[in-house]
């Protein structure tokens, strides 16, 4: 994190270090699977677990220039930043809510969840 960037992040600011955001395959499988938000993504965007990389690429790009909507302090475990954005995959577009976790000020954002917004 840039030394001039205040901690914790604040609503209305851009997601700190968004260009370095990451996730893990297991998280994408959960989000797009039956135990997560898979039914919603299948209905709205016609995607499933086999589309995980395209889904991640769309999310990672979408949050680069959208301000944080909400910050939740999860002390002592860090903060979670909610970012509401628009995702486009192929020719389908939807509004989406994403959540990003930072354990410490020096961390990069880790995807917690994402689901279509109605």
For 28-83, what is each residue's pLDDT tens digit?
A: 999 999 999 999 999 999 999 999 999 999 999 999 999 999 999 988 899 999 99
The pLDDT score that the predictor gives to residue 6 is 77
| Count: domains in the chain | 1
Phi, psi of 28 (to 5 degrees): -65, -40
- Kindly report which listed range (5-9, 34-38, 100-104) carries the lowest average pLDDT score: 5-9
Q: How far is CA 8 from the centre of its chain?
A: 17
Residue 68 lies inside a defined structural domain of this protein: yes
- Residue 92 structural domain: 18-116
Non-local (6+) Cβ contacts of 44 within 8 A are 92, 94, 116
Residue 7 included in any domain: no
Q: Considering the domain boundaries, does residue 5 fall inside one?
A: no
> Is 63 within a domain?
yes
**pLDDT recorded at residue 74:** 84
């Amino acid at each position: 994190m840039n030394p001039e960037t205040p901690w914790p992040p604040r609503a209305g600011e851009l997601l700190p270090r968004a260009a370095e955001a990451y996730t893990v395959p297991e998280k994408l499988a959960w989000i797009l699977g039956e135990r997560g938000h898979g039914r919603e993504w299948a209905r709205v965007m016609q995607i499933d677990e086999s589309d995980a990389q395209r889904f991640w690429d769309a999310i990672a790009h979408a949050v680069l220039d959208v301000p944080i909507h909400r910050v939740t302090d999860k002390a002592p475990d860090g903060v979670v930043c909610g970012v509401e954005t628009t995702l486009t995959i192929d020719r389908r577009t939807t509004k989406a809510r994403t959540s990003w976790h930072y354990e410490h000020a020096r961390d990069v954002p880790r995807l917690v969840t994402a689901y279509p917004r109605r």
